[in-house]
Amino acid sequence: MPIRKKKDAPELSGETKELHEEDRILSPELKKKAVETFEKFLAHGHYRSTSERFKVLEAVLNRPGHFNADELYAAMVMDRQRISRATVYSTLELLEKAALITKHNFRGDRSYYEIGFDEPHHDHLICVKCGHITEFIHPQLLSIRKQIADKAGLRVVDHTFQIFAECPEPGTCPHNS
């Protein structure tokens, strides 16, 4: 399932704010913070600190939007980086444990990842026909999750909300190429 984000997608109506790729570009300071976080995570967890792991981190930090392990590996190979597929997969697991990336399953046979630190909490609208993902923030969802947790006597720590929909005209969908 190809995952793409169209930069000029229309705004969703109401209080909902759609996130765009330019909202996801990390500053050099945030990239440095991610490297420092990963260094500390590896040291505290007694994991080996290798140049390959940091190459994977760099590739992740330079990818806006969602990606799967195979897409990341292919992009790194195309950039002529010497890296194994196994290293990419194992490093993605470590980056997830370090809370630097978030792993998603969008109803497919592959997991997708995205930067998970210093990001506003957002949810996903996924087209089941073309794979287009629209990221959005809707304040009412945050309120609803709190109300539900409060009623159960619990405190919210996180939530995931995914809406699966389909293009009205898959044959002419601008995201389907």
112-132 pLDDT, tens per residue?
Answer: 888 887 666 777 777 877 777
Q: Which pLDDT value is given to residue 167? A: 82
d(CA 115, CA 122): 12
Question: Is residue 11, in this structure, part of any structural domain at all?
Answer: no
Q: Looking at residues 30-54, what average pLDDT do you find?
A: 95
Question: Is residue 173, in this structure, part of any structural domain at all?
Answer: no
Domain range for 158 is 17-168
Question: Is residue 107, in this structure, part of any structural domain at all?
Answer: yes
Q: Which pLDDT value is given to residue 7? A: 37
Question: Is residue 176, in this structure, part of any structural domain at all?
Answer: no
Question: Is residue 6, in this structure, part of any structural domain at all?
Answer: no
Q: Which pLDDT value is given to residue 56? A: 97
What angle (nearest 5°) sits at the alpha carbon of residue 102, between those of residues 83 and 38?
55
Only one residue has tokens 């290798």, namely: 50
Domain containing residue 163: CATH number: 1.10.10.10
Q: The pTM is what?
A: 0.68
Question: Is residue 141, in this structure, part of any structural domain at all?
Answer: yes
For residue 75, is pLDDT > 50? yes
Q: Record the tokens describing residue 114, joined without a space.
A: 């995205």
Question: Is residue 85, in this structure, part of any structural domain at all?
Answer: yes
- Counted domains in the chain: 1
Question: Is residue 128, in this structure, part of any structural domain at all?
Answer: yes
Residues paired with residue 169 on neighbouring β-strands, in sequence order:
none
3-state DSSP assignment of residue 101: strand
